[in-house]
Structures are given as C-alpha cells and as structure tokens.
Amino acid sequence: MSYQPVSPLIVQSLIDIVGSSQVHSSLSKCTAYGQDKTEDLLFLPEVIVLPKTVVQIQQIMRLCSQNQIPVTPRGAGTGLAGGALPVCGGIVLSMECLNQILEIDEANLQVTTEPAVITEVLQEKVQEKGLYYPPDPASRGSSFIGGNVATNSGGPRAVKYGVVKDYVLNLEVVLPNGDLIWTGANTLKNSTGYNLTQLMVGSEGTLGIITKIVLKLIPLPSHSLLMLVPFRSPTKACAAVSAIFQAGITPSCLEFMERAAIDIAANYLQNNTLPIKEEVQAHLIVEVDGNHLDSLYLDCEKINSVLEQFDCGTILLADDQTTKNTLWQLRRNLNPAIKQYSAVKKADTVVPRAALAELLKGIHQISTQHGIRAINYGHAGDGNLHVSLLQEQLPNPIWEQQASSTLQAIFKLVKSLNGTISGEHGIGWIQKKYMPLVFNPVELQLMRAIKKTFDPTSILNPSKIID
C-alpha cells in the first residue's frame, strides 16, 4: 500500500480541526510518540495530533482517508507487541485528551468512559461505589482503558473473572472514513446480528478508533488471601496448577514466576525482604477472594494440601495488606525489571492449562538448543506464560537471528499443544510474521477481508496483525 506524506497543507488542515496547540512535529515529540514499551523499537511519525472531541476525530479521519495518509491510534503507549508504533509514518492520533469517566450507573452496574482513563483510576472510581472492574494488566497504573480494550488485555485476575472482552458491552467507534457507529447495546445479553463489539475488542486499532466504552461491573468482593508458594521444581509448580482447579477451587489469581525473574525484580526494586531459600527455583502466587473470610481460609487449606502433593515448600500466607502489596509490587515489576536487566524479545504464549508444564519444559529445551536464556513467568491459571528471551552478552546480529528462530520454535510448540501465540498482549507489529504458524491461508484471508471491509484503503494502523 502506498501512502501520501503529511504535506504542509495537511498540517494546516489538522491545525484548523484541533488548534495549533494540539499538533506536534518536533523531533522530541516524534521520538516520544514513535515508541511504546515494545523492545527498543522506534518509528518516527510525521505529525502527532491530540484531538479533544469525537467530532474532531471524525474530521481527522475524513481528511486522512481522502488523502491516503496513515493514522496510528495511540493510548498510553504501554503495549508490548508494537501495536501503537507508527510503522508507516504518517499521523499518530493520541487519544490522551479523551480522559473522562462519563457515568457510573450504579443501578445497572455499568460504567461509561472515554478511552484515555487510566485503568487503575477507573478501578478506584468504581470501587468507591462498592463496584469492581477486575481486568488488571500489570501496567494498569499507566495503561489506558481504551488500549486495554484494543488489545483485549487480561492480567492476573482473568483466571477467575475473565479478560476485557467479558466486560465490554458497547463501544462508540469512529471508522476509518470518519463515520461514527455504536457496536451494540448497553445490555448484558445481546443476540442481535453480528457481534461488532467483540470484533472491535482486540482488533488493536486496525478497524476503528474507540471513543466511548460501556463496561459491565460486578460487586466488589470484600476479602482476599494471598499465598506465596515455593517449589524446587518449576515444572512441578506448573503441573500443580490444574490440580487446584480439579480440587474444585477457582483462585482469583494464580501466577507463576521462575526464580531468576524474582531475583531480577527484587534487585530492580531494591527489595530483598522476601524470605526465599536457595534451593527454591519457582513460585506460585495463589489468591482467593470472596465475601466470607472463613471459607477463604478453608480454600487455602485445601490448596495447601493439593500443592503438597507437588513437593511445594513452606507456604507464606499473606493476609495483611503490606505483605500483599509487596508481593504484587514484585509481580507487576517483572517486565520492567527484566527489560532493564537485558534487551529482551518477548512471547506471550498460551496453552490449555494442563499443558503448562509441558510448555515450560519445551521452552527451556528450545532456548538451550538455540543458545539463548529464557526467563518465564505469567498467568499460570490461564495457561499463559510470558517468555523473555535475554540478549545478555550476545552480539546483535547473532541475537536477532537466534531469538527469531527460538520464537519460531516456541510458537510451533505452542501450536502443537493446542495453544496460540498471544494470550493478552496482541499481535501488533512484532508477532505478525508468526500468524501463519497458527492460522491457515483461508483463515488469514478472512481476516484480511474483515480489515478491508472496515478500512478499504488500509490507512488505519497499517501493517499490524496481518499484511
């Protein structure tokens, strides 16, 4: 696809739409908006535009579709698959000014929000009313709710409460040609026609620009208990995961962390207060929540007896807020800590839960064969393992080539285990070359046809997900 440059005339038209204070093209701004949290990738846009209203977004999209200018929508830039990188140049359309919670509907347990509300702020605001929005990606302190919808992100609580798609009821969307649609209705049930809402969720800004979001909420559970469970064998820790569910318990979080990840994060946070014995090679973090504390303690006892069958060490029960916060802070900082420690390439593998131990074993075999160190952690209860391949001392060309063939082999393994290549980060820019490993040509062609229906000239977030 060929695109037109953003000419001075187009820049003037953009200024006419949003005002000169909302259009930027300095090198420092282009550099800041030319990257997200994906590796160390940088693609400079020509212009950054910060609309303040939906009407302005419609006008911008009309202008760009009439002039064949690529537009990359951007939330907070916390993505890990390069979905917000302006890989074809053009305009970065930053949503940051649409940042209001519009209504918390306590009677219907719903919230209507603009896309640039920080996820954690939205969670806190509904929590003040005794309500709960569970999806909690690790970056929730900085990610935007619109970006979460665009990638269908998850987080630790997905294991009990589901991912973003399970909460999105209705979306207002600006299409690439500037038309405005609502995808559904503000109802809990909806069997009316094709499900445009769910098509939009996880489409990574390739089909439309999400401008309003209606989310379902649930009552806030009043209690939680957290356990930190050490294991000598990471594989046994993974094997224990499905046994917990088979014992009839659904934890509210069930996370896995290899020892190396914990050590790097503890060092990054300068926090060595966790009592971790030398022989420990992995941990599970298991959380249960609900409204009856006594029954949560019973659940913990039951989980304890399951985990003992997998040779766990002494379990640390965190029932006070300080210890809980310490553990979650450590867990949420694994990604930035590892990224600071070494250049990394990441995979967001996901397999059926009972295949987790086999996945972990395979990842270690593959990375060893390729001469690359892999550190693993993730949402074990969902079968979702985040793999970080470390560059460490490898020279750059060797690293690029080895990391790419390692990822290829890991994704083949994932497919053979009936899994897939992204559980919650999306495909974006960096994983699209692996899509043919998990979809056949007919399936890929259907996806291309969907893209073409929404965006016939491919101006919206081009070159993402599929070519």
Residues near ligand MLT, by CB under 6 A: 80, 137-138, 334-335, 346, 386
DSSP code of residue 36: -
Please report how close the Cβ of residue 377 comes to ligand MLT at its closest, in angstroms: 7
DSSP code of residue 177: T
Q: Burial-class residue 453 by CB neighbours within 10 Å (0-12, 13-18, 19+).
A: exposed
Please report how close the Cβ of residue 140 comes to ligand MLT at its closest, in angstroms: 10
Please report how close the Cβ of residue 425 comes to ligand MLT at its closest, in angstroms: 6
Please report how close the Cβ of residue 424 comes to ligand MLT at its closest, in angstroms: 6
CA pair distance 454, 458, nearest whole angstrom? 9
The residue among 157 and 346 lying less far from ligand MLT, judged by its C-beta, is 346
Q: What are phi and psi of 414, to 5 degrees?
A: -55, -45
The residue among 49 and 374 lying less far from ligand MLT, judged by its C-beta, is 374
Q: What are phi and psi of 255, to 5 degrees?
A: -110, 150
Q: Which contacts (CB < 8 Å, 24+ apart) does range 290-295 have?
A: 290/221, 290/222, 290/223, 290/224, 291/221, 291/222, 291/223, 292/223, 293/223, 293/225
CA angle 282, 285, 291 (to 5 degrees): 165
CA pair distance 168, 200, nearest whole angstrom? 10
The residue among 148 and 183 lying less far from ligand MLT, judged by its C-beta, is 148
In 417-440, which residue ranges form alpha helices assigned H by DSSP?
Answer: 435-438
Q: Of 224, 223, 226, whose CA–CA distance to 316 is shortest? A: 226
The residue among 112 and 333 lying less far from ligand MLT, judged by its C-beta, is 333
Show the tokens assigned to 401: 């080539």
The residue among 138 and 380 lying less far from ligand MLT, judged by its C-beta, is 138
Please report how close the Cβ of residue 434 comes to ligand MLT at its closest, in angstroms: 16
Q: Of 153, 168, 198, whose CA–CA distance to 384 is shortest? A: 153
| SS3 category, 452 | helix
- Cβ-based neighbour number of residue 314 at 10 Å: 10
**Contact yes or no for 105/117 (Cβ under 8 A):** no
Please report how close the Cβ of residue 154 comes to ligand MLT at its closest, in angstroms: 8
The residue among 37 and 451 lying less far from ligand MLT, judged by its C-beta, is 37
The residue among 46 and 287 lying less far from ligand MLT, judged by its C-beta, is 287
The residue among 113 and 151 lying less far from ligand MLT, judged by its C-beta, is 151
The residue among 345 and 370 lying less far from ligand MLT, judged by its C-beta, is 345
Please report how close the Cβ of residue 379 comes to ligand MLT at its closest, in angstroms: 6
The residue among 162 and 313 lying less far from ligand MLT, judged by its C-beta, is 162
Please report how close the Cβ of residue 447 comes to ligand MLT at its closest, in angstroms: 24
Q: Burial-class residue 466 by CB neighbours within 10 Å (0-12, 13-18, 19+).
A: middle
Please report how close the Cβ of residue 15 comes to ligand MLT at its closest, in angstroms: 37
* Torsion sign (Cα): 62, 65, 70, 71: positive
Please report how close the Cβ of residue 338 comes to ligand MLT at its closest, in angstroms: 8
